[in-house]
Amino acid sequence: MDYTLIAKQIEMIDKEIEKLVAQKKQLTAMLSEEGLSSNVARKTYWDMAVFVMEKEKHPLHTRDTKRLIEEEFRTKVSFKSLSQVLHAKAASKKYFYKDKEAPNTYGLLKWNSD
């Protein structure tokens, strides 16, 4: 077995890893300049809703949740679909609760003391 060849392959892999780490740092810096984070990779409505609610630190009306998701993630959100997701998750006591005082307003389940 040619151990020098293996050592050279390991060295090449190490160099490639260094390049990838540098690219990751550059891309992360670009996101930071835009006021974004690596959380933009989140795709589901409920993940994005959790993200904006955690950022706002209080329950939000569905309309506000939609607006904040669109601003934060620069993507279009269906109001009807988002409403259905929030309602279903709140009804199953997953992620969200429905605010009893305000219509179409949801908060993070971890905030609810009921």
The answer to whether residue 109 scores a pLDDT higher than 80 is yes
Task: Take residue 2 and report the two structure tokens written for it.
Answer: 């040619």
Task: Take residue 26 and report the two structure tokens written for it.
Answer: 């550059």
Q: How confident is the model at residue 113, as a pLDDT? A: 63
pTM of the model: 0.61
pLDDT mean over 33-59: 77
Query: pLDDT per residue over 74-107, tens digit each?
Result: 888 899 999 999 999 989 888 888 988 889 999 9
In 3D space, the residue among 38, 64, 35, 36 whose CA is nearest the CA of residue 49 turns out to be: 64
Residue 112's pLDDT band (boundaries 50, 70, 90)? confident
DSSP label at residue 37: -
